[in-house]
């Protein structure tokens, strides 16, 4: 087996794995969208914590779809010796790589701004859905109970929510599980917001997160190099 053929086979296997992985993520994303409660029941408090910071269902669907496109382009491009598909594969991976580098720079330079934008985006969902959306309320209750936190920032995130308007109380975790959880008791309890708790966990494991990010970047560079090698040597095989 020549070098070209060997690299071609590796390219096909690698991208087939990416395609299947993307399909799995897409399936999980759809599952979370349809039935978030069962997802939390299976994967526990950590999954519910993640669900509060980002809308993980749409995130997984988007990532899964992108991976399936990348896997399809790379696998078919190598298998069919298509220069068009290979250059499309290279371009898509390059765009993703540039976007990741840009996001990392923004995260490092504008960390405070990114956190503010996240809070202002996610926070209003509590006032809109907590107490009216059963799945959303269930996931938040599990998170606050297991992580020992209250709301995104604090108990005031629930002021004006369907729950507060109906019962005129705050979720029990906001008062260290003391009932009834009124505004005075919630203020005295001073339970930390879930956003701060999750950020603390992320910063604690920043090294591992950085290592994973570096590994993904290395794979992307390798994938671009291999696709360009195949592209350049198709006419010489």
Asked if 188 contacts 61 with a C-beta cutoff of 8 angstroms, the reply is: no
pLDDT at 135 (0 to 100): 76
Domain ranges of the chain: 3-102+206-236, 113-197
H or E element, residue 114: helix 111-129
State whether the Cα torsion 203-208-211-212 is positive or negative.
negative
Residues 22-76: pLDDT tens digits? Answer: 888 788 778 777 766 665 554 554 444 444 444 566 777 888 888 888 888 888 8
10 Å CB burial of residue 149 (0-12, 13-18, 19+) is buried
Whole-angstrom distance, CA of residue 137 vs CA of residue 126 = 9
pLDDT at 170 (0 to 100): 92
CATH code given to domain 113-197: 1.10.1450
pLDDT at 112 (0 to 100): 63
SS3 state of residue 105: helix
**CA 61 vs CA 27, 103, 135, 165: distances in Å:** 8, 20, 18, 34
Ranges under pLDDT 70 in the chain = 1, 35-57, 106-115, 117-119, 201-203, 205-207, 209, 235-237
Whole-angstrom distance, CA of residue 145 vs CA of residue 195 = 14
**CA 128 vs CA 48, 53, 85, 133: distances in Å:** 19, 16, 45, 9
For residues 90, 95, 100, 105, the Cα torsion angle rounded to the nearest 10 degrees is 130
Whole-angstrom distance, CA of residue 62 vs CA of residue 59 = 5
Asked if 186 contacts 198 with a C-beta cutoff of 8 angstroms, the reply is: no
pTM for this prediction: 0.60
- As a 3-state breakdown, the chain gives helix, strand, coil percent values, each rounded to 5, of 85, 0, 15
- The separation between CA 64 and the C-alpha centre of its own chain, rounded to angstroms, equals 11
pLDDT at 54 (0 to 100): 46
Tokens of 35: 């039935």
Asked if 143 contacts 42 with a C-beta cutoff of 8 angstroms, the reply is: no
């Amino acid at each position: 087996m020549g070098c070209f053929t060997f690299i071609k086979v590796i390219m096909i296997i690698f991208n087939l794995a990416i395609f299947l992985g993307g399909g799995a993520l897409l399936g999980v994303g759809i599952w979370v969208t349809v039935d978030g409660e069962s997802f939390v029941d299976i994967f526990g408090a950590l999954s519910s914590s993640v669900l509060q910071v980002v809308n993980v269902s749409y995130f997984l669907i988007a990532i899964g779809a992108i991976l399936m496109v990348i896997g399809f382009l790379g696998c078919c491009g190598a298998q069919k010796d298509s220069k068009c598909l290979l250059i499309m594969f290279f371009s898509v991976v390059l765009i993703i790589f540039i976007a990741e580098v840009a996001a990392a720079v923004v995260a490092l330079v504008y960390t405070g701004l990114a956190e503010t934008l996240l809070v202002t985006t996610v926070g209003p969902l509590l006032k809109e859905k907590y107490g009216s959306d059963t799945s959303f309320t269930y996931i938040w209750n599990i998170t606050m109970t297991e992580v020992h936190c209250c709301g995104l920032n604090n108990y005031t995130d629930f002021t004006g929510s369907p729950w507060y308007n109906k019962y005129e109380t705050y979720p029990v975790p906001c008062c260290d599980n003391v009932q009834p959880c009124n505004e005075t008791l919630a203020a005295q309890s001073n339970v930390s917001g879930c956003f701060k708790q999750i950020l603390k966990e992320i910063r604690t494991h920043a090294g591992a997160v950085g290592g994973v990010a570096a590994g993904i970047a290395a794979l992307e560079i390798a994938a671009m190099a291999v696709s360009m090698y195949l592209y350049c040597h198709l006419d010489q095989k």
